[in-house]
Structure 1
Amino acid sequence: MTLNNKKFGRKYTRLKNYNYAANGYYFVTICTHEKQCFFGNIANGKIQLSTVGKIAQQYWSEIPQHSKHTYVDEFIIMPNHVHGIIIIDNPDNPRRVVPWNDPTDVERDLSQTMSKLSPKSGTLSVIIRSYKSSVTRSCRQNGDDIFQWQSRFYENIIRDDKSLNNIRRYIINNPTKWTEDKNYVN
């Protein structure tokens, strides 16, 4: 079974054959629906968090409590997006690429194929989906029925210390450069 992504207007943003449960550092950006500034605003180069922004910040800090072998590094809640570094450090899951296109895949039944395609516990996608769901649920419980996330998220696999340090600097300085940010809206 193949999916026609043109039909749905989507393209894959993840690396083909990469195991997103692999140990490593991941730079993640999650945007709000239509870049709406639900999380607050920038004043004098600092983020002034709204109630929703405080919820997003709290739940980001709590990611390690809900995802085993997962840690958060530098992060920032911006008016309409979240930037953060997530570390997956599972001793049973070293960094590796998982083979996917072996000839027997075609012969497997649909349930096995779908099981293989579905996100697995401890993967970056499951961590982010859980985070987004928790923030949304908390907003709804607090009477905010308007808040929405963009359906996807962006990630970058951090491959070396130089990149890690550059990304940390970018995150820290992001509020001071808000008007230059590609997610900036007036």
Structure 2
Amino acid sequence: MDGGYMDELPRRKNIRLKNYDYSQAGYYFITICSKDKKSLFWEVGATCGRQFERPPLSNIGEIIDLEINKINSIYENVEINKYVIMPNHIHMIIILYNGNGRSKTVPTISRIIQQFKGSISK
């Protein structure tokens, strides 16, 4: 090939709504993938045998689990409603609540995810 389109990296679609305020109260479904979609979050060779059986998490998966559970205590108007750690990605439902009359601002979804990624990368 002569360096055509095969050399280009795949481009991710921007699925965010233009001009939407991602600090608004509501439920947000979030998916975060590992770099290069590598299976890093479960033990090597682990599969989920029986329904509702938790697969053994790798060390990285355990750190992710711990950091997800910290989010509820870091932000007073944020709740992780449900989450699942897959071999190479994470799904979360994040609930943002309206402020309770205090002057604190509700963080945006981007800010929450940015801080979460920073904490698991250390």
Please tell me the TM-score bracket, short chain as reference: 0.7 to 0.9
Question: Which of 41, 60, 65 is the aligned partner of 2:73?
Answer: 65
SS in 2 for 1:85: strand
SS in 2 for 1:74: strand
Q: Kindly provide the amino acid, as one letter, of the partner of residue 63 in structure 1.
A: I
Q: More helix per residue: 1 or 2?
A: 1
User: Is the Cα contact below 8 Å between 1:29 and 1:83 reproduced in 2?
Assistant: yes
Aligned to 2:90: 82
**What is the Cα deviation at residue 11 of structure 1?**
4.2
Cα root mean square deviation, aligned: 2.1
Q: 1:121 to 1:22 in 2, by over 3 A?
A: closer
**What is the Cα deviation at residue 32 of structure 1?**
0.1
Match runs of 1:135-154 below 5 Å: 135-137=120-122
Structure 2 portions without partners, runs of 5+: 1-10
Total equivalences in the alignment: 103
**What is the Cα deviation at residue 43 of structure 1?**
3.2
Question: Which of 18, 21, 37 is the aligned partner of 1:19?
Answer: 21
SS in 2 for 1:18: coil
SS in 2 for 1:62: helix
TM-score (norm 1): 0.51
Aligned to 2:112: 127
**Identity fraction in percent:** 37
1:83 and 1:11 mapped to 2: Cα distance?
Answer: 18
Question: Which of 56, 62, 72 is the aligned partner of 1:54?
Answer: 62
Aligned to 2:39: 37
2:14 and 2:114 mapped to 1: Cα distance?
Answer: 16
**What is the Cα deviation at residue 42 of structure 1?**
2.4
2:76 and 2:107 mapped to 1: Cα distance?
Answer: 7
Give 4+ residue runs of structure 1 displaced > 3 Å after superposition: none
1:17 and 1:69 mapped to 2: Cα distance?
Answer: 22
SS in 1 for 2:63: helix
Q: Kindly provide the amino acid, as one letter, of the partner of residue 80 in structure 1.
A: N
